[in-house]
Structure 1
């Protein structure tokens, strides 16, 4: 039984999980209607929930609500807010979203992070007191930054940790890892990948004592996972995190067969993104969650924009908890070619990280000679004069790109090799996205 399942069983006691969730949702709705003007209006005519299925009769909460009416969603006074996260996330344009957390909300995040971290440590065959975790995630906006809350979770279970310098050069980050010798390295996929690619030029990473790589924040391609594990001689654990539900959402177990999440803290649905109707168990759709215990800003039927599936079949690890499947795309970051086919970042990650000397890349979708045109900037290790051609060949392996080229509706992609460290990401541009500038003038050059 994994640590998340232990937490769920201890929380619900003798009740069934469904009964517990229904009671919590009823209480959350009553609390939100009483304290948040937004929900007082939105749920004024909400029917009584007799079953969990009745939740589908309630309206959704969206990204726009967090941008346009954040203070109307607040259920406590501003003096009761311990931390506000105000930021642009993937697919967000215009005003940033504001998400509020109280002290009790922060405590719950820390407890969840502790359980998730324990899963990674135990799943990797380590003992918690002997484990040091290197955290390479944003530490800005103290106190209660993302990195600090994770460090608190590590301390809660008795593990050691340090917060790495995310703004340092990659070489400095590598030297920091070598000096601290963590058994677990935690960070976003793009940051750990960059550290790995640059680090293996001068160091044998397998000799650094790392047993687990705790990857979060971004899609992790199958190729990236395999190459990371080979480079470090460590097991990769992928984490699903998102600010709105409280960062620490779900983690893989040692079976690596989906993300386990705390069902006593979050209730997930999967809907058809076009109709809003529920999809069948195991089918892909948009993830929607309802928070069950949030104090400052409870969210009811919040549309995440993440496309995934949920399965309720038992996991090979023995857990009976539901699992979230892989998340290949986000609704706001899907782009349609002139052929009518969709493209999104994970398609390119799967294809391009087959190139073992690729560090990072950027994509622009523009018009050239009246046709769709894909331009790529790439940062590589080494100096392969044929890399651009190899990368173009990989791009042409993506079915949507191949079909567009073959039908005469897309040019052959172009690739530009950039100097080292020029594609480092952070802040608003942290997560990868395709930059679609087709509505602008035809571009001979990408600015």
Structure 2
């Protein structure tokens, strides 16, 4: 497959050149934080670290960690490092608990974000001739505008559809000649299901690829989307606090996500000790925003569980790769002492040939954790007799037991009875009072 790059001089840079860039940017960033963010000045002073001691990217281990609670504790603008007149954009996380995390951008920060998204689109094969159908939500959520600006930065045409009104989405895909689709993976699957229900032959659409992120998804989900939409599905990673989508991205090899490490320096740490872990070992993903001005977070703990690989990719890129996150430490369910991630359940369902439409309900009954997994039946299963449905439920429960090492009750429900999401899918309801 022909390889596409947006900035080959960066994406394929030698390690020494990249390290030099990272070190220069880290020095500048730490000085900015110390001089302009009282929170960081106090942190560094408490640790006895002065900005001039940070000379190389290797010195990053001398710096403190930043947590999501720090952003909430200094809501809304307490960690912003530039004067008000330099702020060009404000976004906020779509969090459901506590205060939102507010992110400010300078014009330069917006350009960094757009550049990361443009690299992602190019890696998926997008060119200046293509039309990019953006079905992420527009607004304070970073998804829509991130891919929109990335498409324009690349020179492609952005179609700002936003989310919702799915039949209209399908009509636009047919009529506007969209080449690329950008949305959450769960919404991509829903668009695919809608195409199928409307009798639309997706093989006749111009659509050839999609870039999906903002929620965890399995290889089974990828296969499901590719089958429904007749496209190649690519992963993209980002989080509001860092820059939104475009922090890292898949290339044609789909063997990990290339990190835009000239802007966002990654580490993998032991989540308990904070010590750096070697390549290939899974731990907590940490980012330092060496390319940002307004909110230059130092060693931000994402809670995502991943691993790093520094060897050159077969696509030609030398950008470090992060392996597809296994889950999140704060989305992880601990059930009867066992760590459970929704992505594990999704994997089991897709391995059994089921579409990944499910809901996990956790409760505590008589001081014992109880997990129920509701799973949508296929149309063929729905027409089967009750006894056969019970057999399916036992089969799924057995497969979950084998993978998770704990038992779960499985309830098969009617097709389309679980709510669909235009943004991040809600997969878990935890009713335990702890």
Q: TM-score, normalised on structure 2?
A: 0.88
Over 3 Å counting, the alpha-carbon distance change for 1:176 and 1:360 in structure 2 is farther
Distance, in Å, in 2 between the alignment partners of 1:400 and 1:43 is 48
Segment drifting more, 55-64 vs 362-371: 362-371
Shift in Å at residue 336 of structure 1? 1.5
Q: Please tell me whether residue 316 in structure 1 is matched to residue 322 in structure 2.
A: no
Unaligned runs of 5+ in 1: 123-127, 406-411, 441-447
Match 2:189 to one of 193, 196, 199: 193
Distance, in Å, in 2 between the alignment partners of 1:287 and 1:312 is 15
Distance, in Å, in 2 between the alignment partners of 1:108 and 1:51 is 22
Over 3 Å counting, the alpha-carbon distance change for 1:432 and 1:307 in structure 2 is farther
Post-superposition Cα deviations, 1:234-275, rounded to whole Å, max 9, x if no partner, equal 211111121122121111111111111222111111100011
Aligned 1:383-394 pairs, distance under 5 A: 384-385=381-382, 390=392, 393-394=395-396
Segment drifting more, 360-369 vs 263-272: 360-369
Residue pair 1:286, 1:305 contacting (<8 A) in 2 also? yes
Match 1:60 to one of 52, 59, 65: 65
Aligned to 1:121: 125
Residue pair 1:5, 1:319 contacting (<8 A) in 2 also? no
Aligned to 1:443: none
Over 3 Å counting, the alpha-carbon distance change for 1:357 and 1:198 in structure 2 is farther
Distance, in Å, in 1 between the alignment partners of 2:327 and 2:114 is 28
Q: Please tell me whether residue 111 in structure 1 is matched to residue 115 in structure 2.
A: yes
Q: Aligned to 2:271, what secondary structure does the other structure show?
A: coil
Distance, in Å, in 1 between the alignment partners of 2:330 and 2:97 is 10
Q: Please tell me whether residue 139 in structure 1 is matched to residue 135 in structure 2.
A: no
Aligned to 1:257: 255
Residue pair 1:313, 1:320 contacting (<8 A) in 2 also? yes
Q: How many equivalent residue pairs?
A: 420
Distance, in Å, in 2 between the alignment partners of 1:413 and 1:13 is 52
Over 3 Å counting, the alpha-carbon distance change for 1:29 and 1:419 in structure 2 is same
Segment drifting more, 49-58 vs 28-37: 49-58
Q: Aligned to 2:239, what secondary structure does the other structure show?
A: coil
Q: Please tell me whether residue 24 in structure 1 is matched to residue 15 in structure 2.
A: no
Shift in Å at residue 433 of structure 1? 4.4
Shift in Å at residue 212 of structure 1? 0.7
Aligned to 1:82: 88
Unaligned runs of 5+ in 2: none
Q: Please tell me whether residue 413 in structure 1 is matched to residue 409 in structure 2.
A: yes
Segment drifting more, 55-64 vs 216-225: 216-225
Shift in Å at residue 120 of structure 1? 1.3
Post-superposition Cα deviations, 1:336-393, rounded to whole Å, max 9, x if no partner, equal 221x221011101111234556362221111345533222344555363356753553
Aligned to 1:125: none
Residue pair 2:287, 2:298 contacting (<8 A) in 1 also? yes
Aligned to 2:42: 41
Aligned to 1:360: 357
Aligned to 2:78: 72
Distance, in Å, in 1 between the alignment partners of 2:213 and 2:352 is 22
Aligned 1:144-223 pairs, distance under 5 A: 146-168=143-165, 170-201=166-197, 202-223=199-220
Distance, in Å, in 2 between the alignment partners of 1:23 and 1:56 is 16
Q: Aligned to 2:212, what secondary structure does the other structure show?
A: strand
Shift in Å at residue 166 of structure 1? 0.8
Shift in Å at residue 156 of structure 1? 2.7
Over 3 Å counting, the alpha-carbon distance change for 1:139 and 1:67 in structure 2 is same
Distance, in Å, in 2 between the alignment partners of 1:77 and 1:348 is 47
Residue pair 1:185, 1:214 contacting (<8 A) in 2 also? yes
Segment drifting more, 390-399 vs 181-190: 390-399
Distance, in Å, in 1 between the alignment partners of 2:372 and 2:270 is 32
Match 2:289 to one of 281, 288, 291: 291
